[in-house]
Copies of this chain bind each other. A is one copy, B any other.
Amino acid sequence: MPNLHALAARSACGLIRHVAPGITPGSGPGHLGLFGYEPLHYQVGRGVLEALGIEFDLRPGDVAARGNFCTVDAQGLIVDRRAGRISSEAAIAVADRLKTIRLPGVETFVEPVKEHRFVLVLRGPGLSGKLSETDPQAVGTAPLPVLPQEPAAAATADLVNCFIAEARRLLHDATPANMIMLRGFDLLPDLPKFPRVYGLKAAAIAAYPMYRGLARLVGMEILKTGGTFAEEIATLQQHWESYDFFFVHYKDTDKAGEDGNFGAKVEALERFDAALPGVLDLAPDVTVVTGDHASPSILAGHGWQPVPVLIASRYCGADPVTQFTERACAGGTLGVMPSHTLMPLVLANALRLTKFGA
């Protein structure tokens, strides 16, 4: 990775820890931390993240839940928590049945995601996301009713329980997807907005919907882009003069790691490295390269390990690190830093912060 190593050599380097030692972050808290939102403080429910991931137009006050189609027996006991991982096409058909459900005073949206997964959104006044989950996380038992976890959630719990009863009725002959389970209820959080907090006109360039959704959640503008990294960089070049800050997402390393494919990950890193000059030629005041979580091939999934970070600027105070690797960056002057402390450093390197105290 000659370009990354050369960039590391003129950067301050370190490792980013996203949540806490030993805690593996999902992409939601992984990104929120990098954007400066302490991920334990700004928790976003699974339902909201799923809705963002399909770019559903969530609005303030909406309650979203992650849904699973499942299989129950004649007694209503769960036989398969994922309905045999039915195909996405089959899921669309059963989701269409659920779309006919009408609840008093609220709009409902049922959006298939992939295979047995879907998103349920309720839209209306006075909803609460403080609801218990219906997935008992076991077979041989019935899905649980939704319980309010705060007094103000009682009405929302009633609505969701009505929805579940209707779903049971509508799906009774749709085996294997003859029942649903819901979890991760949450209201769309009203986060402080990135452009306002930092005084930066900010744009996101990401080929995958989940990352566009996370960027929209913090108030970045979403730029239309193609599906390859080369197209993302072309988008960056095209809009370079119009924004102060760009979040550019590269997916391939994560995907290779999640596939447990070490060779593919090496190639993904090499492709990233080859594309890097297309960014550096724009001569940014501050360049940051890092990740929203580790994806070690040996885990074939996200990992808890801290990830390398570099900050390059005229004022960064380059350290002796000359390789952009976990091992080399461990000796950098940034140390092991919590993810939400990255943005203040970025702003400092852009000379956008004033002195604290006299």
Which residues of chain A have a CB within 8 Å of any CB of chain B? Answer: 12, 15, 19-30, 39, 43-44, 46, 49-50, 53, 66, 184, 294, 296, 298-299, 301-306, 314-315, 317, 319-320, 326-328, 330-337, 341-349, 353-358
Contacts and interface: CB of A to CB of B under 8 A. Distances in A.
How many chain copies does the complex carry?
A: 2
B347 A22 contact: yes
A358 B26 contact: yes
Nearest to A299: B315
Contact of A22 (B317, B328, B348): B348
A310 to B, nearest CB: 14
Nearest to A316: B305
Given A20-B341, A22-B345, A49 B319 contact: no
Given A22-B346, A315-B296, A345-B21, A330 B330 contact: no
6 contacts: A20-B341, A21-B334, A24-B353, A304-B348, A304-B353, A320-B327
A222 to B, nearest CB: 20
Given A27-B357, A319-B327, 19 more contacts: A20-B341, A21-B344, A21-B345, A22-B348, A23-B344, A25-B356, A25-B357, A26-B356, A49-B358, A294-B317, A298-B315, A299-B315, A303-B315, A306-B335, A320-B328, A326-B333, A330-B333, A333-B336, A336-B336
